[in-house]
């Protein structure tokens, strides 16, 4: 409910849904709310067949990553599901090697036995099993406090309050005045809170029951995992002292009925998606606009552009690859199967297919694997941002780099925000110089610095664009527009009315801006502010490959070419 009331109001909102079985009513309602608000939504589930996965497949508004776990059904507190989900994220963030080391170190029988015995033999818990509980934590052990409170509250084992050591200092200590009614304090700290925990506990009145635990780990991510393990063993210890099984409680019927309530009626979006042109307009100007006159102007422009799009006789498609014909995270896994099927249909029907990308031989391999070899001679590819244009059946070699890139390479190594560890020949191909970064924020900062460098060094005609974690510098002769001009000239086509352009980063700083800034252009994600090109007519919540799929499916063969029909 917090997401529905707050998150849907912000332009940059993205949502990640975590669900063990993918059938929770709150999760399903959130997925639908995200679609209504056209918010980017992904989900991780531990079951491949679920209502959430089905909803994702039907609507395309949720990017779902599903796994089948090796257990039939988790317990009431979903301990296995929690640990499994966290480990999946750990592996995604820190890699398989570090994950294997963590599992070997923390999940071996000896380590688990040690953690468990610490809690099962805790004297304070054994002597005061019915006391309310106050959990004190430092910054890195907050996950322990949150998880323990959740487990104990949901299983009705204890009344729990959580606070960090300094929150406790601001009045919460008054609960300790009456020692006979004082809560059981469970104090957990990592290496970061050693001093404050020790000094705080020294001042706790004598007679207040206290259990002290140190959570091992040298990094925040290690401490997170250990904290969750400790919370499970703490729950077991408290449950045994109370002679209760928290994993198999008797759930009353009213509780089951409450759990099944559907919150969808109270979750709504400020965006009215009943009108597809309204949605397209919001994508142009943003969800937060309050200027009705401006909004009406953009909606009218959408109607005009869509009419132009549908009346065109399309003879060729020029498409970006990453984020368009495949999802960004699957760029090295190849083309999405559904996209491959639609492109194969269009090729059979005689359309000319051209791919324009910043990639080189890796793209060539992806395309050759995805598309039947009988079409390789008729498909053209613009590699390295349009530096090289060749048929798919021709082996491509990296072109010599612009010698001017030596200057920017040396400059990069003289600034504070970036230091290259890669040789120049790996970064520069033809007229494109590509810089890989660790975050979008770093990419944006570097992009602005490079534009200033252009001015300082009189690099007339050079441009810089960003896509995710990479920045592409293009010299004055390199552009995806070269691919459009090549197709128009070699196939005798009008670049404005007979070539459909597809990409995903059509905004002014995106690497598809030049491709999508004219003619018949559709974006699978971000759009430019221009009302004359680069519109996004994908269904609500659909992005990247799923959005492209909706465009391709609505291309219908006619005598004079292909036409877009009933897209919206």
d(CA 506, CA 503): 7
- pLDDT (mean) for 293-314: 95
Residue 183 has pLDDT above 90, yes or no: yes
pLDDT for the residue 442: 87
- pLDDT (mean) for 147-158: 94
- pLDDT (mean) for 265-269: 69
The contacts of residue 386 (CB under 8 Å, 6+ apart) are 356, 431, 478, 479, 480, 481, 482, 483
402: helix, coil or strand?
coil
Residue 78 has pLDDT above 90, yes or no: no
Query: Which of 245, 81, 233 has the alpha carbon at shortest distance from 155?
Result: 245
94: helix, coil or strand?
helix
Range of 277-291, 318-332, 540-554 with top mean pLDDT:
540-554
Tokens of residue 520, six digits: 């018949």
* pTM, 2 dp: 0.86
- pLDDT (mean) for 343-367: 95
Provide, rounded to the nearest whole percent, the portion of the chain with pLDDT above 70.
Answer: 96
- pLDDT (mean) for 38-58: 93
Provide, rounded to the nearest whole percent, the portion of the chain with pLDDT above 90.
Answer: 78
Query: Which of 476, 469, 467, 545 has the alpha carbon at shortest distance from 511?
Result: 467
432: helix, coil or strand?
strand
pLDDT for the residue 407: 96
Per-residue confidence at 11, pLDDT binned at 50, 70, 90? low
pLDDT for the residue 4: 62
Per-residue pLDDT tens over the stretch 127-138: 998 899 999 999
Contact 545, 334 (CB under 8 A): no
pLDDT for the residue 330: 84
pLDDT for the residue 288: 67
Q: What is the DSSP string of 527-552?
A: --S-SSS-B--PPTT--HHHHHHHHH
d(CA 57, CA 34): 15
Indicate the average pLDDT of the chain: 92
499 burial type by CB count under 10 A (0-12 exposed, 13-18 middle, 19+ buried): buried
Alpha-carbon Rg for the chain in angstroms: 29
Contact 380, 487 (CB under 8 A): yes
pLDDT for the residue 146: 97
Per-residue confidence at 74, pLDDT binned at 50, 70, 90? confident
429: helix, coil or strand?
strand
Query: Which of 118, 109, 255 has the alpha carbon at shortest distance from 188?
Result: 118
Q: What is the 3-state secondary structure (H, E, C) of 443-493?
A: HHHHHHHHHHHHHHHCCCCCEEEEECCEEEEECCCCCCHHHHHHHHHHCCC
- pLDDT (mean) for 32-36: 88
Query: Which of 9, 117, 21, 110 has the alpha carbon at shortest distance from 64?
Result: 21
Residue 241 has pLDDT above 70, yes or no: yes
Residue 439 has pLDDT above 60, yes or no: yes
Per-residue confidence at 550, pLDDT binned at 50, 70, 90? very high
Residue 246 has pLDDT above 90, yes or no: no
Per-residue pLDDT tens over the stretch 466-492: 887 789 999 999 999 999 999 999 999
d(CA 452, CA 458): 10
Per-residue confidence at 329, pLDDT binned at 50, 70, 90? confident
Contact 453, 408 (CB under 8 A): yes
Residue 384 has pLDDT above 90, yes or no: yes
Contact 352, 487 (CB under 8 A): yes
266-302 CB burial, b ≥16 within 10 A, e <16: ebebebebeebbbbbbbbbbebeeeeeeebeebbebb
Residue 271 has pLDDT above 60, yes or no: no
Residue 332 has pLDDT above 80, yes or no: no
Residue 417 has pLDDT above 90, yes or no: no
pLDDT for the residue 290: 66
Contact 420, 513 (CB under 8 A): no
Q: What is the DSSP string of 172-212?
A: GGGGGSSGGGPPEEEEEE-GGGHHHHHHHHHTSPTTS-EEE
């Amino acid at each position: 409910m917090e997401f529905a009331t707050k998150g849907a109001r912000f332009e940059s909102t993205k949502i990640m849904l975590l669900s063990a079985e993918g059938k929770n009513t709150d999760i399903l309602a959130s997925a639908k709310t995200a679609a209504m608000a056209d918010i980017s939504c992904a989900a991780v589930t531990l079951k491949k067949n679920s209502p959430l996965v089905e909803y994702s497949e039907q609507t395309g508004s949720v990017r779902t990553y599903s796994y089948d776990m090796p257990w039939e059904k988790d317990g009431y507190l979903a301990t296995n599901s929690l640990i499994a989900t966290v480990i999946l994220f750990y592996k995604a963030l820190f890699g398989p090697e570090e994950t294997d080391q963590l599992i070997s170190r923390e999940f071996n029988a000896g380590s688990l036995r040690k953690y468990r015995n610490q809690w099962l033999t805790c004297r304070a818990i054994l002597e005061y099993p019915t006391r309310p509980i106050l959990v004190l934590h430092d910054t890195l052990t907050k996950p322990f406090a949150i998880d323990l409170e959740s487990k104990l509250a949901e299983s009705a084992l204890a009344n729990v309050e959580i606070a960090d050591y300094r929150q406790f200092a601001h009045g919460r200590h008054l609960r300790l005045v009456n020692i006979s009614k004082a809560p059981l304090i469970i104090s957990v700290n990592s290496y970061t809170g050693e001093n404050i925990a020790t000094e705080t506990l020294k001042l706790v009145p004598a007679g207040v029951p206290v259990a002290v635990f140190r959570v091992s780990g040298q990094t925040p991510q290690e401490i997170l995992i250990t904290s969750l393990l400790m919370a499970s063993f703490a729950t077991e210890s408290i449950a045994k002292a109370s002679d209760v099984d928290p994993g198999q409680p008797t759930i009353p019927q009213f509780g089951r009925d409450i759990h099944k309530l559907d919150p969808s009626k109270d979750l709504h979006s400020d965006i009215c998606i009943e009108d597809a042109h309204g949605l397209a307009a919001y994508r142009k100007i943003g969800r937060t606009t309050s200027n009705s006159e401006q909004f009406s102007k953009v909606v009218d422009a959408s109607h005009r552009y869509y009419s132009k799009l549908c009346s065109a006789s399309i003879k060729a498609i020029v498409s970006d690859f990453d984020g368009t014909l495949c999802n960004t995270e699957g760029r090295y896994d190849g083309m999405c199967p559904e996209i491959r099927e639609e492109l194969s249909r269009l090729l059979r029907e005689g359309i000319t297919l051209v791919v324009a990308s910043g990639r080189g031989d890796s793209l060539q391999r992806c395309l050759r694997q995805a598309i039947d070899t009988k079409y390789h001679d008729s498909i053209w590819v613009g590699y390295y941002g349009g530096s090289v244009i060749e048929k798919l059946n021709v082996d491509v070699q990296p072109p010599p780099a612009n010698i001017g890139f030596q200057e920017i390479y040396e400059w990069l190594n003289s600034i504070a925000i970036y230091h290259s560890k890669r040789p120049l020949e790996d970064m520069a191909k033809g007229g494109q110089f590509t810089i890989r970064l660790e975050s979008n924020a770093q990419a944006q900062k570097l992009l602005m610095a490079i534009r200033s460098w252009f001015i300082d060094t009189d690099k007339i005609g050079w441009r810089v664009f960003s896509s995710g974690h990479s920045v592409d510098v293009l010299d004055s002769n390199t552009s995806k527009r070269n691919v459009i001009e090549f197709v128009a000239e070699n196939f005798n086509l009008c670049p404005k009315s007979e070539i459909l352009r597809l990409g995903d980063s059509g905004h002014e700083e995106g690497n598809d801006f030049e491709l999508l800034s004219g003619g018949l252009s559709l974006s699978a994600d971000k759009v430019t502010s221009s009302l004359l090109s680069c519109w996004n007519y994908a269904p609500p919540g659909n992005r990247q490959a799923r959005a492209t799929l909706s465009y391709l499916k609505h291309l219908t063969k006619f005598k004079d070419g292909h036409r877009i029909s009933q897209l919206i």
